[in-house]
Each structure stands twice: as C-alpha cells, then as structure tokens.
C-alpha cells in the first residue's frame, strides 16, 4: 500500500464546499462592486450603500415574484444586504414615479434628489452587466415609462 493522502472525511468535504461557496460569493460581490465603482466613479463604501438603496427601492416597485427573480441573479452578499433593507417586504408593489424614486434614494444617501440620478443609472447599468438580459427586460416592462429610461444603455 503506497503512502498518500488520506481521503477527506464528510465533515472536511463539507467545510471545503462551504469555503468554495463563500469564496465564490465574495468574488461575485467584489466584481459587482468593482464594476459599480468603475461605472459610477464611486468609492467602494459608497457604491455598496448606493446599490442597496437603489435596489431596495426598485424592489418595492416590483411584484414580489419579479423581485425574487431579479434577486436570484444578484450576488448573494448583495442579496443579504437587501434583505436587511428597512423597506424590503413581500407586500404589493408601491406605485411611485421618477421624482419619488429620486427622493427615496436621495434620503437614503443623504443627498439632494437632483444629485442621485447618475447614481441610479450607474446601479442599473451595473445590474444590467451582471443579470441576464431577459430578466432585465422583465423588470423594465413592469416599470412606468418615466422609470424605464433610467435603464437605457448609454449611447
């Protein structure tokens, strides 16, 4: 019998799977934040706050099933932050327009409503890079026209 490595125990295999899953979750979240920082010219700490504010506010406008479909494609670490959002719930969608969206995000980020549109656009553009186009189209079609243009790709 040759000397070699002993097989992993079930507990060791479980730990290794957990470590790989955590590593992958950290990598996908880091990639999302890096892209948001690049697209929106933001610092990482602010990018995280911006993403949570914009996405939590967006999810209020969507029916719960569509919000869950979107969440399924977001990085798990971002999803964990969204689940702690004060406004997050599985209730009926909240009808709001462009100005209300700007005001809610501005309040979260301690900014003026006229300052947050580029931030919202940057978050949406980053989400668009990390989520399937079919899912993005589903989200956009649930929004009124005055919110749809915030998702438009830059020319």
Measured over the CA atoms of residue 117, residue 38, residue 82 and residue 62, the dihedral's sign is positive
Which pLDDT score, from 0 to 100, does residue 82 have? Answer: 80
Which pLDDT score, from 0 to 100, does residue 1 have? Answer: 46
Residue 95 belongs to a domain? yes
Which pLDDT score, from 0 to 100, does residue 89 have? Answer: 57
Residue 101 belongs to a domain with what CATH number? Answer: 1.10.490.110
Which pLDDT score, from 0 to 100, does residue 8 have? Answer: 63
Which pLDDT score, from 0 to 100, does residue 84 have? Answer: 63
Name residues whose C-beta falls within 8 Å of residue 77's C-beta, 6 or more positions apart in sequence.
25, 26, 28, 29
Residue 15 belongs to a domain? no
**Domain extent at residue 100:** 43-151
Residue 19 belongs to a domain? no
pTM beyond 0.85: the answer is no
- C-alpha distances in angstroms, 30 versus 74, 116, 119? 12, 23, 18
Residue 33 belongs to a domain? no
Question: pLDDT by residue for the chain (155 residues), tens digit each?
Answer: 456 677 767 665 565 565 566 556 678 899 999 999 999 999 999 999 999 999 999 998 998 899 889 999 999 888 888 876 766 555 667 889 999 999 999 999 999 999 999 999 999 999 999 999 999 999 999 999 999 999 986 65
| Domain total in the chain | 1
Residue 29 belongs to a domain? no
Residue 69 belongs to a domain? yes
Residue 24 belongs to a domain? no
Residue 67's nearest CA partner among 85, 55, 51, 54 is 55
| Cβ atoms of 58 and 71 closer than 8 Å | no
Residue 122 belongs to a domain? yes
Which pLDDT score, from 0 to 100, does residue 13 have? Answer: 55
């Amino acid at each position: 019998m040759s000397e070699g490595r002993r097989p992993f125990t079930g507990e060791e295999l479980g730990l290794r799977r957990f470590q790989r899953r955590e590593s992958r979750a950290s990598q996908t979240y880091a990639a999302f934040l890096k892209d948001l920082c690049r697209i929106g010219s933001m610092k990482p700490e602010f990018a995280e706050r911006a993403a949570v504010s914009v996405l939590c506010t967006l999810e209020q406008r969507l029916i719960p099933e569509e919000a869950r479909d979107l969440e399924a494609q977001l990085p798990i670490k971002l999803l964990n932050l969204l689940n702690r959002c004060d406004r997050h719930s599985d209730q009926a969608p909240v009808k709001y327009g462009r100005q209300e969206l700007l005001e809610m995000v501005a309040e979260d980020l301690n900014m003026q409503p006229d300052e947050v549109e580029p931030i919202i656009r940057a978050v949406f553009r980053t989400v668009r890079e990390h989520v399937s186009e079919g899912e993005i189209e589903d989200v956009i079609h649930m929004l009124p026209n005055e919110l749809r243009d915030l998702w438009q790709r830059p020319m």
